[in-house]
Structure formats: structure tokens, C-alpha cells
């Protein structure tokens, strides 16, 4: 690591702690919190109960770490909330450090590193203090750790860390095909097979102890995530709510699977269409990546961000905290395309803050028109980010000057 990068890493870590404290104490507070649920999991683990066997868990195993740690050293909900927030602030600082290190691997200038970290801070601040009551900053940290290792061409460590990220939150799995294509282009079929097996085997090893103790509990956890209904903030729901207001199409909602969802035949059909659209978008991203210089670090970060955005924008569930994953990935994209994509993601963050959490229950219970249109516009902006990332270069577009490091 160069002296310049070391100084930026120290500055990013230190200042991010202050920014994290600022975000956690923004006016209005978090509103809707998840920490009581997390504390329930953590307390049961502290009591010696086995996840998936003695109590149902919808999250992958590594996600249980930030749930359990505060339970070990707290006795009240307030203490738990404070400790959990502290963990998320550390995760936030870790993400900023990894952004600097990733951009160093990409050969970015000092100004580019500073702007990217500032954009990351801005995205988190725009989303607001509720993020400190969710574990998605930890999930983003795990994913960025894997991406950083991949950019530094750690051929074994990168895939292993990606497997750990998948065992924290499922969304990094969309990066596996990109990693396989990249490895195959650089090292042939054997390297591609290793890039495929290492993350999958690593994730499976994390699940294995729990699967041996409670196979039905693990299967139930995975199937619950795969079969979730159409959540009310998703793009599919946004379209249906818009049709409801424009043409009076009848809709209903219900709580289930940890979220509020649209119900009925129309919602079920839309959920299926959304799933097909997501699959199509991911295949497009992977194919476009394979048609170019798949060994390029710059292209890998661009298409990794595109895959993550596709997963968010076209998924059946689009919770506000998912935008953390988007911000952390998009700020690494180089050139004019990266600037435009980052700007659009920040717009999506601002639109989310406009209605969440203050208008959330009006959206759910009354299908509030203002909240409906804000949700739909936000979701369409995310589709715009995807289009920017996968579109062919425009005439006159500024080419990136980023340099790739020598192989480690």
C-alpha cells in the first residue's frame, strides 16, 4: 500500500466514525426499527438455543453474529440498541476503508477516492438513522471485503470471502458468475471451476453445522426467502399501486414473511413476472460482461454494481436498507458512467428518505398516493442506474483513466 492510500484509509476510518454518529442521531430518529427482532435472536443464542433447530431464523448464519454480540454484553433493549448501533458504525467505517482500498486497486486518483467516499457518506446520510437499526451495513462490509480481495487478484481469498458474504446475505451470489467468467478468461477452465466451487463450498460449510443439527429448519429458512410475496415497496408493487390510483384497480395487502405485501391473483402474477425480469436482467449483465475484457478490474466493478442493482430493482422485495448495497457498489464504478450512476443512486436515496419511515404506514394501510408515486419513481430511478451501467458507451463519453495494478 502506498503512503497516499494509507493516509486516505486512516482518514476514511476516522471521519466515518464521526459521520456514522451524526447519521445515527439525525432528527426524527429511526422510526421503524428491527433491533427488537435481532435482540430476540441474540438472547436465545445467549441462552444456549441452536438457531434453525430451537427457533426459526430467516437469515443466513453469519448474519447472526451482529445479532448475538450485543446480547452477550447487554441486558436491556436500550443497551442492545446502543451496542448494535456501535457495530453498524464500525461496519460503516469499514466500508469506507474498503472503498479506498478498492479504488487504489483500480488506480484511481486521490480526488476520485475522496469523492467516492463522500458519495458513500452522502448516500447513508440521505437514507437516515434507521440504517443503524438494520444489519445491511454489515452485509455490505462483507461483500466489499470480497470485492476488494478480487480486485487485488487474490484468486483463492476473493472467492472464499465471497462465499462468506453469501452466507451473510444472499445478494452477493449474483457476483459468482462474473467471478467465474473473469477467472476463466484469466486462467482457463480450471481457474473458472475453482472460482465457482470456492464460494459455493465456503457458503455450504458455514451452513453445514446447522444443517446437520436441523435440516428442516435450514431448508425452511432458505425456502422462506425464495418464496417471499410481492413486498409493497418493490417495482412490481409500485406499478400495481399506480394502476390502482390511475384506473381504480382493486388491491389488498397483508403482513407476512417479515414485510407488508400486496396479495391476490394480480400480485401473484406480477411477482412471477418480476422474477422472470430479474433473471433476464442478470443474464444480460453476465453476458455483456463476458463479451468484453472480463479480466479488467474496471469492467468487473461496473458489472458487479450492475448485477447488484438488478437484484435490488427487480427483486420481489425492495426494503429501503437495500440501497446501502447499491451505494457501496456504485461508488466504485469508474469514469463518467460511474459519476452518473452514483448521482442517480443518491437521488434514489433522497426519494426513499422523503417517504420512509414517515409515510410508510400510510402507504401500506391507505395506499397513500404521494408515497405511491415516490416509491414508483424511486424504483424507476434504480432501473435507470441499471441502464446506465449496462448501456454501450455513448459517443463523446469520457474514457476512464484508471490504471490496474500489476498482478499480485
Task: Give pLDDT, residue 42.
Answer: 96
In the chain, where are the structural domains located?
3-390
Q: What angle do CA 125, 72, 38 make, to 5 degrees?
A: 50
Whether the Cβ atoms of residue 4 and residue 110 lie closer than 8 Å to each other? yes
Q: Is the pLDDT of residue 55 over 60?
A: yes
pLDDT tier, 403 (very low <50, low <70, confident <90, very high otherwise): very low
Q: What is the pTM of this model?
A: 0.94
- Residue 31 pLDDT: 79
Looking at residue 224, its pLDDT comes to 87
Higher pLDDT, 154 or 401: 154
Q: Which of 319, 322, 304 is nearest to 137 (CA)?
A: 322
Each residue's pLDDT tens digit, 18-38? 999 999 888 767 778 999 999
Cell numbers linked to 171: 445478494
Across the range 307-314, mean pLDDT stands at 97
Q: What is the pLDDT of residues 131-172, one digit of tens each?
A: 999 999 999 999 999 999 999 999 999 999 999 999 999 999
- pLDDT, average across residues 379-404: 73
What value does the mean pLDDT of the chain take?
Answer: 93
27 vs 379, residue with greater confidence: 379
pLDDT of the residue at 5: 85
What CA–CA distance (Å, rounded) separates 14 from 164? 26
Amino acid at each position: 500500500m502506498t503512503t497516499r492510500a494509507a493516509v486516505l484509509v486512516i482518514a476514511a476510518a476516522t471521519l466515518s466514525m464521526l459521520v456514522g454518529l451524526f447519521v445515527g442521531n439525525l432528527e426524527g430518529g429511526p422510526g421503524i426499527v428491527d433491533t427488537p427482532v435481532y435482540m430476540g435472536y441474540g438472547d436465545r443464542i445467549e441462552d444456549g438455543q441452536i438457531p434453525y433447530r430451537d427457533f426459526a431464523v430467516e437469515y443466513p448464519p453469519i448474519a447472526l453474529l451482529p445479532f448475538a454480540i450485543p446480547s452477550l454484553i447487554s441486558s436491556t433493549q436500550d443497551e442492545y440498541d446502543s451496542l448494535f448501533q456501535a457495530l453498524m458504525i464500525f461496519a460503516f467505517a469499514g466500508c469506507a476503508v474498503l472503498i479506498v482500498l478498492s479504488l487504489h486497486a483500480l488506480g484511481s486518483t486521490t480526488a476520485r477516492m475522496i469523492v467516492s467516499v463522500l458519495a458513500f457518506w452522502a448516500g447513508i446520510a440521505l437514507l437516515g438513522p434507521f440504517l443503524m437499526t438494520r444489519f445491511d451495513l454489515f452485509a455490505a462490509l462483507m461483500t466489499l471485503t470480497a470485492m476488494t480481495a478480487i480486485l487485488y487478484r487474490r484468486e483463492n481469498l476473493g472467492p472464499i470471502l465471497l462465499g462468506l458474504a453469501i452466507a451473510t446475505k444472499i445478494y452477493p451470489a449474483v457476483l459468482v458468475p462474473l467471478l467465474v467468467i473473469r477467472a476463466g478468461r484469466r486462467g482457463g477452465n480450471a481457474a473458472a471451476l475453482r472460482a465457482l466451487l470456492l464460494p459455493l463450498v465456503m457458503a455450504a460449510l458455514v451452513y453445514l453445522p446447522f444443517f446437520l443439527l436441523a435440516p428442516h429448519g435450514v431448508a425452511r429458512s432458505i425456502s422462506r426467502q425464495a418464496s417471499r410475496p410481492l413486498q409493497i415497496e418493490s417495482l412490481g408493487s409500485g406499478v400495481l399501486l399506480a394502476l390502482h390510483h390511475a384506473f381504480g384497480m382493486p388491491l389488498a395487502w397483508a403482513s407476512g414473511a417479515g414485510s407488508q405485501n400486496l396479495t391476490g391473483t394480480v400480485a401473484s402474477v406480477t411477482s412471477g413476472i418480476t422474477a422472470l425480469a430479474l433473471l433476464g436482467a442478470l443474464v444480460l449483465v453476465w453476458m455483456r460482461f463476458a463479451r468484453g475484457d472480463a479480466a479488467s478490474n474496471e469492467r468487473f466493478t461496473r458489472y458487479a454494481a450492475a448485477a447488484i442493482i438488478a437484484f435490488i430493482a427487480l427483486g420481489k422485495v425492495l426494503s429501503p436498507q437495500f440501497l446501502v448495497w447499491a451505494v457501496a457498489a456504485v461508488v466504485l464504478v469508474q469514469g463518467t458512467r460511474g459519476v452518473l450512476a452514483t448521482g442517480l443512486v443518491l437521488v434514489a436515496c433522497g426519494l426513499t428518505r422523503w417517504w420512509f419511515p414517515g409515510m410508510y404506514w400510510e402507504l401500506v394501510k391507505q395506499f397513500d398516493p404521494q408515497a405511491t408515486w415516490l416509491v414508483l419513481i424511486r424504483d424507476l430511478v434504480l432501473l435507470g442506474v441499471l441502464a446506465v451501467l449496462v448501456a454501450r458507451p455513448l459517443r463523446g463519453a469520457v474514457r476512464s483513466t484508471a490504471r490496474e495494478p500489476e498482478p499480485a
